[in-house]
Amino acid sequence: MATEDDSAMMPRIARVVVGTQTPSLLSNNVGRGLSPQSQIQLVAMYEYLIGTEAQTGALVPQLATEWSVEPNGQDFRIKLREGIPFHGDNGTVSWRDVERTVMELGAEDSEHAHARFYRPVTIEAVSELEFIWKLPNPLAEQVRRFSEQVGGLEIMSATDYDTDGAPDFETGPTAGTGGYEFLEREQTRGVTFKAVEYDHWRHNPDFPELEIRWMDEESTRLAGLLTDEIHVTQLGADSTEQAANEGMKVETGTLPGARIFGAFQGGYLDIGDSNYEAQGTPCEYVHCDSPFLDPRVRKAMNKAIDKDALNVAFFRSAAQEMIIQAIPETSPAFNPAWREAFDEEYGYDPAAAHTLLEMAGYGQDNPLEINVNMGVVAAYPQARDVKESMAGMWNDIGIKTNLETVDAAVMRPRSRALELTNWVNLTATASFDVQSWRVHHAAISPRGGGFELLEIRDLITDLQGTMDTGRQDELLREIGDIAHPRHVAINLFWVPPQIVLNPEFVESWAWPGNVSGLWSHFDLIRASKVKL
């Protein structure tokens, strides 16, 4: 609530503008039309069962006040907050809204990356404000999936949906409960919201309006920030430094840093799913001719990368060395032996990398040829520059690299259908450890994003079915002990997520830097104010 002093102040501007890259998916259907990485366009108008405390990243009650595992070890009992209104004349939150949201997420035509995990969910009402979230099996990721920290379970109004049907670009999105509500969308420009006209139960936004504007080029975002066209954005290291020198303010997220790593796209286990029918290949992988099946190739490509040079050039030496994909050194699952072996396994040594390629059968007359996906990475604006530099380092050890820019709408179905054999892409995500092994290294749909190591297949399956966090840590260490010397990814950096804001208009943003989609907590953007 506003204090007496605050009531005599007003924001310098009525509309705060956030400049960001265009999401890979555009939709007004937050359920079946989007995924966590593309929900920046609508997330300001929704809330979650479990929130994220902005200063610490801790999971806290939001629309749910309580949650607990049922005696069967797999279902959850959840109690909802009473009297939380949806935007418009669409009632208050009940179990029916959770059920409608789950139905949308798990729809057969859903584009949501987690759709398969919502299809088997059943919502069993206990009362208007209490329900059982029923699962067919234990799911280690479930509590995080309820939460704002991961994103993807934005609760929409069943009343609004039942009245207007599935949202589209003509009707606008289904009502939410956030501090901002939908105002308008310009497809090639962005999305605009307005602050709700009542006292929001959790936070009253400082700004009357919020605009999310598509600006793909970093140079355009920097120029827009410096000329007051936009007020908040994300930039690469050089541009962030330039903006800071021009008086802009840098905010660092409170959650663990985003991971930047390279993904081997081609090493897929020959296991059937909704997009691929198993062929019974002799190598047990989809493409027996993929160069990435040879661990010497994967190790060579790691050792060819001068990570110190990349850190200086693109992160101003602020990035932290990634010892293993997905498991930070602060985790109880981390094995100190991985760090001790890091220089031998991953340290920069182009001569050793060249020798490894020769041992794998590649040379001047038979070069290893790979394709590098030069498409944008929504959570990391400098991805193209980093990928181009890595390609140059691979060229230096005799690898023939083809730089290919392919639209995400074209590449995604190819990837999920496991058609790729020798592609490399860069991934920027802060997804938590349990989720990351499934998303990037398991034969579990949606697939295609990274190398699926046969030796850890069963361990990942066990991990997914374990609700006990101590046992999860044990399994994570077992997985790491196998995966670390087998180079399942190109280990690069942990990077603290940062945004840049203009302090003339935006005083601060208590911003954690969400796990899946970088952006969250829009109602906590605090305005620089002037007296009335």
CA–CA dist 252, 21 (Å, integer) = 19
Average pLDDT for 266-291: 94
Same domain for 352 and 374? yes
Asked if residue 94 belongs to a domain, the reply is: no
Chain length of the chain: 532
Asked if residue 450 belongs to a domain, the reply is: yes
The reported pLDDT for the residue numbered 256 is 62
Asked if residue 49 belongs to a domain, the reply is: no
pLDDT category at 316 given cuts 50, 70, 90 is confident
Which residues, listed in sequence order, are joined to residue 508 by a DSSP beta bridge? 526
What CATH number is associated with residue 192?
A: 3.40.190.10
Asked if residue 153 belongs to a domain, the reply is: no
Whether 264 and 292 have beta carbons less than 8 Å apart is answered as: yes
- Which residues span the domain enclosing 188? 1-21+179-255+497-532
Same domain for 480 and 502? no
Same domain for 455 and 395? yes
Asked if residue 136 belongs to a domain, the reply is: no
What CATH number is associated with residue 348?
A: 3.10.105.10
The number of domains in the chain is: 2
Which structure tokens are listed for 140? 């280690």
Q: Where are the alpha helices (DSSP H) in 51-94?
A: none
Tens digits of per-residue pLDDT, 12-70? 999 999 999 898 889 999 988 887 778 889 999 999 999 988 887 788 999 999 999 89
Residue 402, helix vs strand vs coil: strand
Q: Is the whole-model pTM more than 0.85?
A: no
Same domain for 378 and 452? yes
Kindly give the pairing relationship between strand 369-373 and strand 400-404: parallel
Average pLDDT for 497-516: 85
Same domain for 489 and 528? no
The reported pLDDT for the residue numbered 1 is 40
**If you write DSSP's letter for every residue of 366-418 in order, what string do you get?**
B--EEEEE---BTTBTTHHHHHHHHHHHHHHTT-EEEEE---HHHHHHHHHTT
Same domain for 443 and 409? yes
Same domain for 219 and 301? no
Same domain for 362 and 382? yes
- pLDDT(158) > 90: yes
Asked if residue 447 belongs to a domain, the reply is: yes
Same domain for 378 and 466? yes
CA–CA dist 481, 202 (Å, integer) = 44
Same domain for 289 and 373? yes
Asked if residue 57 belongs to a domain, the reply is: no
Percentage of the chain exceeding pLDDT 90: 68
The reported pLDDT for the residue numbered 9 is 87
Average pLDDT for 483-495: 95
Same domain for 407 and 436? yes
Asked if residue 442 belongs to a domain, the reply is: yes
